[in-house]
Homo-oligomer: A and B are copies of this chain.
Amino acid sequence: MESDEEKEEPMSTGEAEGRKPRADVLRNRASILEVAQRHFLAHGFGTSLESVAKEAGVGPGTLYRHFPTREALLAAVLQLRSEELVARRAELTQVADPDEALRQWMRTLEDYFSAFSGLPEPLMVAAREREPENPLTLPCDNLIATTEEYLKAAQLKGHARSSIRGYDLFLAAISVAWLKGTGAADDASLTALRTIVETGYSSGSPRQVRKR
């Protein structure tokens, strides 16, 4: 299927496609993504894809050709939002205290995962099955690896328990995000849960819980 025939301009924006990018393809893709993001935000991951297609001004066939599965569409939307994560990581290099950096990264993950309801579930499926054809597997793995980095630093130079793995914290963050997404937890409960998690993964040495 994949025939690498690079004619000209092999240097593209990363995706090395050897042929011709049609104009309407790009337009439709962008339109679908924009609408999908809005619908995901408004109605959650389970929103009707037909309504997305209709509002984007394309037929269902076009939507499914661009994004064969709901997860593929999600992955593309998340890609749009991922720059936020990159920016956050850059900011966190300024934080000297590794415990504080880990804490803020966990909060960043939580916000990212609770952007719209129903997001945690497909991520967990990806994390569990680890199948390469699932478009969410790669971003998921990246987030886990990043969490591992922050955790390692906090274990080495901070107060994080050595028995914890990065994957565990990833799961903790996504669980809190899920909880937040259900809407059943008010601010007080979310704060309490976050404190429970933070206290729990830190070792028992004197801790000061600083707000924000």
Tell me which of A11-19, A61-69, A73-81, A194-202 binds B. Answer: A194-202
Interface string of A176-195 (1 = CB under 8 A from B): 10110011110011001101
Given the interface contacts A125-B184, A128-B183, A171-B185, does A196 sit within 8 Å of B201 by beta carbon?
yes
List which A131-187 residues lie within 8 A (CB) of chain B.
163-165, 167-168, 171-172, 174-176, 178-179, 182-185
Interface string of A17-42 (1 = CB under 8 A from B): 00000000000000000000000000
Measured as residues with beta carbon below 8 angstroms from the partner, the interface class of chain A is: 35 or more
Residue in B125, B179, B192, B196 whose beta carbon sits within 8 Å of that of A182 in the complex: B125
Is the pair B189, A167 in contact by a Cβ cutoff of 8 Å?
Answer: yes
Chain A contact residues: helix, strand, loop or mixed: helix
**Is residue A94 contacting chain B, with contact meaning CB distance below 8 A?**
no
Interface string of A92-130 (1 = CB under 8 A from B): 000000000000000000000000000001001101100
Interface centre among A182, A195, A201 (most CB of B within 10 A): A182
Residues of B within 8 A of A199 (CB): 199-200, 204
Is the pair A168, B189 in contact by a Cβ cutoff of 8 Å?
Answer: yes
Is the pair A171, B163 in contact by a Cβ cutoff of 8 Å?
Answer: no
**Is residue A3 contacting chain B, with contact meaning CB distance below 8 A?**
no
Residue in B168, B184, B185 whose beta carbon sits within 8 Å of that of A193 in the complex: B168
Known: A175-B193, A196-B196, A197-B200; 17 extra A-B contacts, CB below 8 A, are A124-B179, A124-B182, A127-B184, A128-B183, A128-B184, A163-B192, A164-B196, A167-B189, A168-B189, A168-B192, A174-B179, A175-B178, A178-B178, A195-B200, A196-B197, A197-B197, A199-B200
A binding-site residues for B, Cβ under 8 Å: 121, 124-125, 127-128, 163-165, 167-168, 171-172, 174-176, 178-179, 182-185, 188-189, 192-193, 195-201, 204-206
4 closest Cβ pairs, A-B complex:
A196-B200, A200-B200, A124-B182, A128-B184
